[in-house]
Amino acid sequence: MDSQEFREAAKAAIDEITDYYDTVGSQRVVSEVKPGYLRPLLPASAPLDPEPWSAIHADVQSKILPGITHWASPRFMAFFPCSGSYPAALAEMYSNAFNGAHFNWICSPAVTELETVVMDWLAQALALPECYLSGGSTHGGGVIHGSASEAILTVMCAARDKYLAAVTAHLADDDGDDGEKEDELWRRRSKLVALGSAGSHSSTKKAAQILGVRFVAIPVSEDAGFALTGPAVARAVADLRARGLEPFYLTATLGSTDVCAVDDFAGIAEALVPSAGTPQDIWVHVDAAYAGSALLLEENQALAVPFAHFHSFNFNPHKWMLTTFDCSAVWVRRRAWLIEALSIKPPYLRNQFSDNELVTDYRDWQIPLGRRFRSLKLWFVLRSYGVRGLQAHIRRGVALGESLEAKLASRPDLFSVFTAARFGLVTLRVTGADEDEINARTERVYEGINASGEFYLTSTIVNGKFAIRVCTGVERVAEEHIQRLFDVLVERANTEVGKKQ
């Protein structure tokens, strides 16, 4: 493909992409293809000779599009949003044009420096404590990762090394002697425990599995709104230490995946005060993958005050902040914790700017070496919408969730609100005589709605209770879609409740 062919194909693609977004609401939300549908439609091996763009384009329409689930649809209310916008799409085009691995400053100075600036902008917009700013008092700062799962693995790695360094600091470094310090490091490693709540995202358990440390989930209760509390953390830590184990890391959650619960940040900070500043200091990471965008609203920013006592914070602009995947924003209170755990300096990465510590090299803040120019899309989105425009988008999603909750509450004969609307997520159950009947009816209503293809919802089971999750954060969701979903829920619940058991 030469430059003229590219110009013509790209212009046509832009028109088709725009048409796709304009008409996505008319598409069935979930693909109807069966597993393995694509292989019989494609050749058994790659072509030996070039194929014309017209043939490739035709296959996108006839073979790929039928296998797409439409996350941008206003009837997609499953999981959490994976949002995008035209400014973000334009940024992706420029990012692809400025293609490179960008692992250190000299690779493309603008890539590094824009990320530092934009992450400070975003931290200020979220009202994060000043310790997370690049020029803050604790030498912290932000970095963009691919996902919250990657962020949790990265900060857990830093937490492990920080903890082990602190508890073995009294031992001299081994220099050919009996290896006392190394032996002690490995002995301590076998006792390390990462903590989360029963509502923490599975990425915490997965990170612990990758790092070879134990994971313990602290129970949460319906009475506490499924939030992790300070006393529960204190009890879990005391119990583990009494058993000779060493808790070193905790994931606290702002907006849990199941029900958008918010953990007791002030209580957790208070519970861990006795260890703060000691070798037993427990790293606290706040996972706000979806709901972190809600900190853009002034009414939620008090939630961030206790974060000054914690070690790291993460949220995904690619969920609710109109920024295309992948873009996961991570901040640490001290950048040295990441650098000490992750820095490598082979000869081929050395240069005068890095060697003299005149610049930030984000390769030392992440697991991969190479990195994309992700900050460009954050820059485009923040400038195109402004903070006020993004606030309006978030408030709209919140209001739509509250609208659905009010509708459900108007039919107590059919529904109970399992967890009230929070950050654009509401969970519900169908009424019944006992828990078994409620679970069975709710599951049948859920499966029936998804099978019809008009809406796509997801479910959860919390402490043995089956509930339907409805997330209203997709940009194109409007009140008319909430009303239609409620009508469908009523229709199907009426059928279930009216059945003879």
What tens digit of pLDDT does each residue of 426-478 get?
999 999 999 999 999 999 999 999 999 999 999 999 999 999 999 999 999 99
pLDDT in tens, 270-321: 999 888 888 899 999 999 999 999 999 999 999 999 999 999 999 999 999 9
- pTM confidence score: 0.93
How distant, in Å, are the alpha carbons of 177, 309, 346, 411, 486 from that of 407?
A: 72, 40, 61, 7, 7
pLDDT in tens, 402-435: 999 999 999 999 999 999 999 999 999 999 999 9
Specify the amino acid at residue 495.
T
Q: What is the pLDDT of residue 501?
A: 44
Specify the amino acid at residue 144.
I
Q: Assign 358 a pLDDT band (cuts: 50, 70, 90).
A: confident
Kindly tell me the sign of the dihedral angle through the C-alpha atoms of 70, 15, 43, 46: negative
Average pLDDT over all residues of the chain: 93
At residue 336, the 3 state secondary structure works out as helix
How distant, in Å, are the alpha carbons of 1, 6, 8, 61 from that of 54?
A: 11, 12, 11, 11
Count other C-beta atoms under 10 Å from residue 457's C-beta.
22
Q: Assign 74 a pLDDT band (cuts: 50, 70, 90).
A: very high
Average the pLDDT over each of 121-125, 179-183, 185-189, 334-338 and give the range with the smallest value: 179-183
Per the CB < 8 A criterion, the answer to whether 359 and 112 are in contact is yes
Strands 214-218 and 192-197 come out as parallel
d(C-alpha 169, C-alpha 163), whole Å? 10
Q: Length of the chain, please?
A: 501
